[in-house]
């Protein structure tokens, strides 16, 4: 039996920085409100014509370089995104072509903020059974082209940014390294508490001028409701990761949570009685990049040497669906 070890990470954000003050010019909001309620100071937006696969390509190149591998070494691609370049085909195949990787399988995963952790589960299991040696797992999002920049959309729009993060998992026979556990959950009861209802294949036509004029194609969220569930589920699923593997929080070097709102993560830390230096947050600089948040944060944690070889980390997320998950790993 193999284990899936993290051997390379990388991330990429587009060059255009959008501060809270930039958003103040577009809608009735303020730097003070955004920082106080979310912890966000700035985020990055793409230029027109740049898609999730372009951001993923840059992040993947960096992850491959840090792993000392080449695109031809990749045996499988898993691409998590809620903002694929096109309705179809998926962004995974576009990434395969951009990287000039071999004709390997390329799977798109559509589980929003939890998409990267769902993707790690797929990669981990494929490696454990010996099907693949090197798997590229990417989370990439372009939100900026799909947000409502009027005051009506301010609760959602100020939160999101564009970006990509990538991880290379490699099969190892080392017993004390790699992904230890993956716990995934969903509850579709609350699908409409955080969603983009239009365009919809349930409707003929899938979108109308009226729907576009009314802004019904923009993401909608019941923020306080999502907030409450996020805190509860993230605490639960971190505890489950610890219990399953026979660890306590004292054994953990770093919790790397999804970056939806700094206050959510602070509340999770408070409920767990987790010391501040054991949770990594970078939402101030990137906003919520959905499937990309965890691989971006993981790359930073490794680059800043906040963790070392042999350390236990727990990655945890909650998002639209609802979906939530945790992944425990030894570096």
The binding site for ligand ACO (CB under 6 A) comprises 29, 33-34, 37-38, 112-113, 154-155, 158, 194, 223-224, 226-227, 230, 260-261, 264, 288, 290, 319-320
d(C-alpha 85, C-alpha 53), whole Å: 7
Nearer to ligand ACO, 67 or 260 (CB): 260
**Cβ of residue 245: shortest distance to ligand ACO, in angstroms?**
26
Nearer to ligand ACO, 136 or 264 (CB): 264
Q: Are the C-beta atoms of residues 27 and 146 closer than 8 Å to each other?
A: no
Write down the catalytic residue from 20, 258, 261, 265: 258
d(C-alpha 105, C-alpha 75), whole Å: 8
Find the Cα–Cα–Cα–Cα dihedral 322, 147, 207, 223, rounded to 10°.
30
d(C-alpha 151, C-alpha 196), whole Å: 18
Find the Cα–Cα–Cα–Cα dihedral 104, 110, 114, 116, rounded to 10°.
20
d(C-alpha 274, C-alpha 28), whole Å: 36
Nearer to ligand ACO, 120 or 158 (CB): 158
**Cβ of residue 60: shortest distance to ligand ACO, in angstroms?**
22
Write down the catalytic residue from 134, 261, 265, 288: 288
d(C-alpha 303, C-alpha 325), whole Å: 24
**Cβ of residue 125: shortest distance to ligand ACO, in angstroms?**
24
Nearer to ligand ACO, 101 or 230 (CB): 230
Q: Region of 283 please: left (phi>0), alpha (psi -120 to 50) or beta.
A: alpha
**Cβ of residue 159: shortest distance to ligand ACO, in angstroms?**
6
Residue 278: alpha-carbon gap to chain centroid: 19
Q: Which residue has the tokens 């740049």?
A: 50
Nearer to ligand ACO, 38 or 91 (CB): 38
Nearer to ligand ACO, 30 or 125 (CB): 30
Write down the catalytic residue from 113, 134, 183, 261: 113
**Long-range contacts of range 224-231, CB-CB < 8 Å, 24 or more positions apart?**
225/190, 225/193, 226/193, 226/194, 226/322, 227/261, 227/263, 227/264, 229/190, 229/318, 229/322, 230/260, 230/261, 230/264, 230/318, 230/319, 230/324, 231/264, 231/267, 231/268, 231/271
Is residue 183 flagged as an active site residue? no
Is residue 113 flagged as an active site residue? yes
Nearer to ligand ACO, 147 or 253 (CB): 147
**Cβ of residue 48: shortest distance to ligand ACO, in angstroms?**
22
DSSP state of 80: E
Helix (H) or strand (E) holding 52: helix 52-67
**Cβ of residue 146: shortest distance to ligand ACO, in angstroms?**
11
What does residue 132 show for φ and ψ, rounded to 5 degrees? -130, 155
Active site residues: 113, 258, 288
């Amino acid at each position: 039996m193999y284990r899936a070890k993290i051997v390379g990470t990388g991330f990429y954000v587009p060059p255009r920085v959008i501060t809270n003050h930039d958003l103040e010019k577009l809608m009735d909001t303020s730097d003070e409100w955004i920082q106080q309620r979310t912890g966000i100071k700035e985020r990055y937006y793409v230029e027109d014509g740049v898609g999730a696969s372009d951001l993923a390509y840059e992040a993947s190149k960096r992850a491959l370089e840090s792993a000392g591998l080449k695109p031809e070494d990749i045996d499988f691609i898993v691409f998590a995104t809620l903002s694929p370049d096109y309705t179809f085909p998926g962004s995974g195949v576009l990434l395969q072509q951009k990287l000039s990787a071999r004709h390997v399988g390329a799977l798109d995963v559509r589980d929003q903020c939890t998409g990267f952790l769902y993707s790690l589960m797929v990669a981990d299991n494929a490696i454990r059974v010996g099907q693949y040696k090197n798997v590229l797992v990417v989370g990439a999002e372009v939100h900026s082209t799909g947000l409502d920049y009027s005051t009506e959309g301010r609760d959602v729009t100020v939160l999101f940014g564009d970006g990509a993060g990538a991880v290379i998992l490699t099969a190892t026979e080392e017993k004390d390294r790699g992904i230890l556990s993956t716990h995934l959950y969903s509850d579709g009861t609350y699908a409409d508490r955080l969603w983009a209802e239009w365009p919809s294949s349930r409707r003929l036509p899938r979108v109308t001028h009226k729907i576009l004029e009314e802004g019904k194609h923009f993401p909608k969220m019941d923020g306080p409701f999502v907030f409450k569930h996020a805190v509860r589920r993230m605490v639960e699923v971190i505890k489950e990761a610890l219990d399953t593997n026979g660890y306590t929080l004292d054994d953990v070097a770093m919790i790397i949570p999804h970056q939806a709102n700094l206050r959510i993560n602070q509340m999770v830390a408070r409920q767990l009685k987790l010391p501040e230096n054991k949770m990594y947050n970078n939402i101030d600089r990137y906003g919520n990049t959905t499937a990309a948040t965890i691989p971006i944060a993981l790359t930073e944690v490794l680059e800043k040497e906040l963790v070392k070889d042999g350390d236990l980390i727990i990655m945890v997320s909650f998002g639209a669906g609802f979906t939530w998950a945790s992944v425990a790993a030894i570096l």
